[in-house]
Amino acid sequence: MQVRVGNAGLGAVHVALLAALLTGCSEAAPAEEKDTETTASASGGTLGAAGSACELPVTFDIAEDWTAEAVDGGSAEDVADALLRQGPVTLVCEVDAKPAGNIGFIRVWTGDPGKDEARAVLEAFVAAESGASKEAYRTFTTGGLDGVEVEYLYTSEMLDETKQERAFAVVTPDGPVVLHLGGLDTEEHEEMRPAYELAKRTLRGN
């Protein structure tokens, strides 16, 4: 025997389904918010100002238990260029995740003042990294600064492994600044990402 459900019956079913979906969404939203709060990094202080471990054209918060150290190229300029320069910028600071239990760094690179915008600086930075692929760029604004961020894959020919990396660039009156997050592998990279997001969120011009 076939059972027919009229429009009124269907309406009741739709209302019941809608109520269930709304209830599920409302429960999912607090869960998502809780997950976000859980993965956010607590601040361990501000880097970049005069007197800090690395004096930079910008300031930003580093994650709790991460440690920062300025990078000195020394007097051998040819060696410094080969090891510390990537595209238009030079490595000036490393923020180490090892004290917090991860293997990797947030590295800060700076360049001379010029006419290039953040996108051009970042594209040149990535282009100089042999093994980079599948770049995805997007813009953002933080602390009054307009920036460009990139996510990409890096393949090591020596290790024959591919991992996730990301970086962002801003341009200041004192020149461009690039912050880069690598990591031993993609898993380490994702575990360190909250510290990178903290740096981006708190970035300010100096």
Q: Does 80 or 13 have the greater pLDDT score? A: 80
State yes or no: pLDDT of 23 exceeds 70: no
State yes or no: pLDDT of 17 exceeds 60: no
pLDDT of residue 37: 37
pLDDT of residue 113: 95
pLDDT of residue 36: 35
State yes or no: pLDDT of 35 exceeds 50: no
DSSP the chain: ------HHHHHHHHHHHHHHHHHHHHHHHHHHHHHHHHHSPPEEEEEBSTTSSSB-SEEEEEETT-EEEE----S-HHHHHHHHEETTEEEEEEEE-GGGT-S-EEEEEE----S--HHHHHHHHHHTSTTEEEEEEEEEEETTEEEEEEEEEEEETTTTEEEEEEEEEEEETTEEEEEEE--SSHHHHHHHHHHHHHHHHT-EE-
State yes or no: pLDDT of 6 exceeds 50: no
pLDDT of residue 20: 38
Residues 153 and 135 sit within 8 Å (Cβ to Cβ): no
State yes or no: pLDDT of 188 exceeds 50: yes
Instruction: Kindly state the percentage of the chain with pLDDT values over 90.
Output: 69
Specify the CATH superfamily of domain 42-205. Answer: Mog1/PsbP, alpha/beta/alpha sandwich (3.40.1000.10)
Which residues touch 98 (CB under 8 Å, ≥6 apart)?
A: none
Task: Determine the Cα–Cα distance for residues 42 and 202; give it in Å rounded to an integer.
Answer: 12
Residue 134: C-alpha distances to residues 127, 131, 146, 150, 196 (Å): 12, 10, 23, 10, 20
pLDDT band at 156 (very low <50, low <70, confident <90, very high): confident
Residue 162: C-alpha distances to residues 83, 98, 125, 136, 169 (Å): 22, 22, 18, 16, 23
pLDDT of residue 82: 65
pLDDT tens digits along 192-203: 999 999 999 999
Task: Determine the Cα–Cα distance for residues 31 and 60; give it in Å rounded to an integer.
Answer: 29
pLDDT of residue 160: 81
